[in-house]
Structure 1
């Protein structure tokens, strides 16, 4: 009973410490961001450069372009509906397809020592190829348009998920596998109860990297000829008309989207891996 009470108290202490640390970290981040924005505003106004507008001008341009619509559309303008939403749709579809393929193939490769030995060199070779270098190949295979963009995003993001998942599957404790065999668990039960939970920390690390990468390659795919909408297309259109605040508005929007998506992913990760983070804190001296 005493041991159980001590463990419960220890868990509560760890949880309180983690929450306080999170609040302090978040407050510090916002202070740093505010200071940087104020410095940016002051420097750009003093410099008076046409190529580097102040943040206030960029925010005003973003409001005019995308967030000054009627309340019925959640203040989104026609330009936002026609460009931001399609970009997010491409990114989500490409990320989902690439992540699913990476998890499935990664588990298959990681659970088979022979497959890992045979395929590791090929996978490392393909991973090392910069996706933009293969744009011509994707254009030949899929032509211009949505199919090429989705295939390009999926190919670009599959590697961190696949390799991290395979590495996580290979790092499952042999003792856990032997225990499951002694209880005569089926392969499906072994996979769901032991392998997947043990793989989740590394799998989520790969998914987080793939999420940020999917935003980058989504924009790159929209800069290519044949694209008629999207954030990347709007940046290109602003460049062609020398709309510098419009260019910077697109760049800042991408940064905001990347930050928001990363924070949402961290919320999901903390939910899914709460047991893992708590175990790490309890194991710490």
Structure 2
């Protein structure tokens, strides 16, 4: 027998809410195809795309590209995190320091990173390092920005309480500001990993690449293999969604006191 709380959880209709979006999307997709609103050559049915996705997984061609993209995304994200979080925390704890570089941060954060691909190609050449470098550059700005604002917007009451209790500036920074900034920092990390994935996909499309989901998408488009193209796009979306969910779970585990 299930416990009452467990039974309520299993019967809770709210558990089905996340499925509504994908169902509506596939229904609209199916309707567009059935009504011939788009040329079937350019837009296959959702079932055809899902079948192509299944076949690409079972024959082993998709996992190779999937994990190549995942590896580049994680490498660039880890570099961005290692640079962006400490720099953001340090700048956020010194508001004058942050204001002195705010223009540069906002300027490059507002500049589409894909526009800088030619510059990075001149510096790093047509290599994997180029893809990782441009993705890390795009992600580090998002992470730094959120980490800095997380520190600057730390709850003043807790900072004042620490001062009243005789805490030193170092203790306030280490025991209050850093922990208070974690919630906003995780927002930056989630945005950063999504940004890294987007730029990696774009770089795989337009910078010489032999593998990766971006390479797979552009290759399928060039030979008009639309089923495989849509299957690869679906795989990219699944990867992005999985990374986002992973960070949401990690955030709930690490910043469990948020809002209390």
Tell me how far apart the structure 2 counterparts of residues 225 and 175 of structure 1 sit (CA, whole Å): 50
The counterpart of 2:46, out of the listed 47, 55, 58, is 55
Cα distance in 2 for partners of 1:202, 1:275 equals 13
Deviation at 1:179, TM superposition (A): 4.3
Aligned equivalents of 1:135, 1:182: Cα separation in 2: 51
User: What's the counterpart of residue 253 of structure 1?
Assistant: 235
Q: 1:31 to 1:116 in 2, by over 3 A?
A: closer
Distance 1:131 1:161 in 2: 15
Question: Hey, what does 1:41 align to over in structure 2?
Answer: 30
Residue 89 of structure 1 is aligned with which of 59, 71, 93?
71
Distance in 2, matches of 1:179 and 1:140, equals 52
User: What's the counterpart of residue 4 of structure 1?
Assistant: none
> How far apart, CA to CA, are the structure 2 residues paired with 1:249 and 1:150?
24
1:266, distance to aligned residue in structure 2 (A): 1.1
Shift of the alpha carbon at 1:114?
A: 2.5
1:102 is the counterpart of 2:80: no
TM-score (norm 1): 0.80
- Correspondent of 2:58 among 53, 68, 84: 68
* SS of residue paired to 2:58: coil
- Per the alignment, residue 73 of structure 1 pairs with none
Structure 2 Cα separation of the partners of residues 252 and 218 of structure 1: 16
Residue of structure 2 in register with 1:283 after alignment: none
Deviates more, 1:138-147 or 1:183-192: 183-192
Segment of structure 1 superposing worse, 253-262 or 52-61: 253-262
> What TM-score comes out, normalization by structure 2 length?
0.87
In structure 2, what is the equivalent of residue 223 of structure 1?
205
Aligned counterparts, 1:1-285, within 5 A: 24-47=13-36, 49-65=40-56, 67-69=57-59, 77=60, 79-181=61-163, 185=167, 189-277=171-259, 279=260
Unaligned runs of at least 5 residues, structure 2: none
- C-alpha separation in 1, matches of 2:18 and 2:242: 14
SS of residue in 2 equivalent to 1:122: helix
> CA separation of 1:60/1:173 partners in 2, compared to 1, >3 Å: closer, same or farther?
closer
**SS in structure 2 opposite 1:276?**
coil
Aligned counterparts of 1:103 and 1:197: Cα–Cα separation in 2: 12
- 1:208-257 Cα shifts (integer Å, max 9, x gaps): 11122111111001012321110011111112211011111111111122
Please name the residue that 1:12 is paired with: none
Post-superposition offset of 1:193: 1.6
CA spacing shift, 1:24–1:263, aligned 2, 3 Å:
farther
Hey, which bits of structure 1, 4+ residues long, moved more than 3 A?
23-26, 173-192
Deviation at 1:137, TM superposition (A): 0.9
Change (3 A) 1:256 1:186: same
